[in-house]
Structure 1
Amino acid sequence: MKFRLHLFELEDQPWFPHVVRQGMMDVLRVMITALGIYKPIVPLLQKALTHTRKTHLVDLCSGAGGGIQQVWRELEKQSGQKISITLTDKFPNLEAYQYLANQSHGALQFSPEPVDATAVPDTVEGFRTVFSAFHHFRPETATAILADAVRQNQGIGVFEGAGKRWHELLLVWFVFPWVILLITPFIRPFTWSRLFFTYLVPLIPLGTVWDGTVSLLRLYTPEHLQKMVDSLNAPHYTWHIGRARHWSGTGVLYLVGYPS
C-alpha cells in the first residue's frame, strides 16, 4: 500500500469511552509483547544510542506502553548497559505505567503530567521514541514532532508495528478477534471492566479491529517519511528510514534520526 488514508480511529475521539480505550491499548500492549513485534528494530535503536551516547529514552505517545518493556530488556541485553525509559503521553495511562514501573523495578519511569510530543519540555531529556503512534497524527503534526526533536538536538526513533502490506489487513480481520478473546483473562493489571467490554458488550474487540484497519491505512510509508525529513532542513542529522522484517512475515516501519 503506497497510499495513505486518514480515516478516524475510535480511540482518538473525545466521546469514546475511556475505559474501552484503555482496554484496547492493554490488548495491544500484550499482543505486541507476546509476538515480539519490535525486536527487529532493537539493533537500529541500539546503534543510535551508541552514536549519541545515551542510555535514557523518552517514549512519547506511550499509550499503554505497548512493547516498551520488551524493547528495554533487549536493549540492556544487547548493549550490556543499564537503560532507563520515561513513558509520556498527552493523556497518560497512569495505571499501566505504574504496572510497568513495578515490573521493571523502576527502570521504566513515567511522567504523570501530560506531555505534548510536538513541544516536549526542555527538562524531559533523552533519546526520543514513538511506538505505534506516529500514524495518529496528520502530516503537519507528525513533521512537528520530528522538528521539535531537531530543535532540541535530540535523537528520535519512530516505529510502527506493521509494514503497511495488504495481508496485514487479513490478520487484523480474522486473527485479532480470536486472539483478544483468548488472552483477555490473562492481561494484567486485571480489571472487571475489560472482561465486560470484551465478552458481554464486545466493544474492545470490535474497536480494536476497526482501529487496527484504520491504522494500517494511516501508516506513513518510507517515501512519506523521507518527504518529512527533507522538509526539516536538518543537514546535521543522520536519518535511517525503511522496513525491518518480522518473523511473522509482517514488517516494522522505522525512522531513526540523530545529530551527526
Structure 2
Amino acid sequence: MRLRLRLFEFEDLPWFPATIRAGMMDYLRFMISALGTYRPIAPLLAEGLARTAQTRVLELGAGAGGGTETVLAALHALGQPTTITLTDLYPQPAAWADIARRTNGNIGYEPSSVDALAVPAQLAGFRTIFSAFHHFPPDAATAMLRDAVRAGTGIGVFEGAGKHWAELLLALTVLPVAQLLLTPFFRPFRLSRLVFTYLIPLIPLCTIWDGSVSLLRMYSTGELLALAHAADPAGAFAWQVGKKRHWWGPQVTYLIGWPVEAAQPAKTHET
C-alpha cells in the first residue's frame, strides 16, 4: 500500500474522553499481547541495547502498554537483562500498574505526561515507540528522532503492520468482531468498558476508525529512512529500516538506530 493519508484519529484529540481512550487502549494491549505482534523485533532491540551498553528500554507513546510484556520476555529469552519504563503524553497509570505488578516491577512507568519530542534528561534508556509513530506528522516525527540523536541514545520505531490492503480489510471486518467477543476478558476489569462497548458502542466504532486510519497514516520504509536522515544529517547514528515477518504471516515495519561508534552503515531489510 503506497497511499498515505493524514486523517485524524480520535485518540489524538485532546478533548477525547479519557474513558473511551482507555477502552480502546485496553483492546489494543490485549490483541498485541495475545498475538505476540512485536516478538520478531526482539533480536533487533537486543542488539541495540548491547551496542549502546544499556539495560533499560524507555517506551514512548506507550498507550496501555500493549505487547510490552511479550517484548520483555523475548529479550530475557535472548539473555538480554532488561527493564522497561512506560511513558505517554496521556499516561495510563491504572493499566500500567497492573503490568508492573504482573512483571514484578521489571516493567515500570512514569506517571506524569511525557512529550516524546522532548524527553526529560532524567528518563534514560534505549528509546522505543510501538504502534504510535504514525500519529506524528513528518516535522514532529523528525523532531522525535532528532531528540534521540541529540541525547546520544538509541531509538527503535516499530509498527505492527506491513501496510497492506489486506490489513485494512481485517481492521474493518474481522477485528471488530474479535473486539466484541473478547472485551469481557480484558483486565483490569472496567464497567465503563462494557457500557461503551455494548450499550453505547463508542469504543468499537472509534477503534474501527482509528485502526483503519492508522494503516493509512503509516510511513513506508523509504519514508522512515528519509526521516532518519533528516533528523541526523551529520550521520551520528547508523540506521536500519525494514520489515520482520511473523512465522504465521503478518509483518512489523521498523526503523532502528544507535550511535555510529559501534554500528554499521544504514541499510534496508525485509524478512
Asked if the contact 1:131/1:159 (under 8 Å) is kept, the reply is yes
| 1:70 counterpart residue number | 70
User: Percent identity of the aligned residues?
Assistant: 53
**Aligned-pair CA distance for 1:236:** 2.7
Residue in structure 2 matched with residue 176 of structure 1 by the alignment: 175
Between the aligned partners of 2:234 and 2:190, the Cα distance in structure 1 is 46
The number of equivalent residue pairs is 259
CA offsets, 1:190-212, max 9 Å, x none?
00000111111111111111100
Match of 1:128 in 2: 127
Structure 1 unaligned blocks of 5 or more: none
Deviations 1:146-197 (A, max 9, x none): 0000001000000001110010011111111111011111110000000111
Provide the rounded CA distance (Å) in 2 between the counterparts of 1:152 and 1:253.
Answer: 24
Task: Please give the secondary structure, in 2, of the residue aligned with 1:240.
Answer: strand
More off after superposition, 12-21 vs 52-61: 12-21
Alignment-derived partner of residue 97 in structure 2: 98
Asked if 2 retains the 8 angstrom alpha-carbon contact of 1:45 and 1:157, the reply is: yes
Cα distance, 1:14 vs structure 2: 2.3
Structure-1 residue corresponding to 2:141: 142
Paired residue type of 2:139 = E
- 2-side partners of 1:172 and 1:23: how far apart? 17
**Alignment-mate amino acid for residue 29 of structure 1:** R
- Judge which range, 129-138 or 14-23, deviates more: 14-23
What's the secondary structure of 2:78's corresponding residue? helix
Correspondence 1:13 to 2:13: yes
- 3-state secondary structure, aligned to 1:151: helix
Q: TM-score, normalised by structure 2?
A: 0.93
Equivalent-residue separation in structure 2 for 1:149 and 1:244 (angstroms): 23
Q: Distance in 1 between matches of 2:81 and 2:48?
A: 16
CA contact (8 A) 1:60 1:130 kept: yes
Q: Bigger shift: 146-155 or 83-92?
A: 83-92
Partner of 1:227: 226
2:160: which partner in 1?
161
Structure 2 gap ranges (5+): 261-271
Cα deviation digits, residues 228-254 of structure 1 (max 9, x gap): 112121413111101111234221110
Which range is displaced more, 215-224 or 229-238? Answer: 229-238
Give 1:16 shift.
Answer: 2.0
Superposed CA RMSD in Å reads 1.0
For residues 249 and 6 of structure 1, the distance between their equivalents in structure 2, rounded to whole angstroms, comes to 27
Partner residue in 2 for 1:208: 207
- The DSSP-based 3-state class of the residue aligned with 1:188 is coil
- What amino acid maps onto 2:107 in structure 1? L
Give TM-score scaled by structure 1 length: 0.97
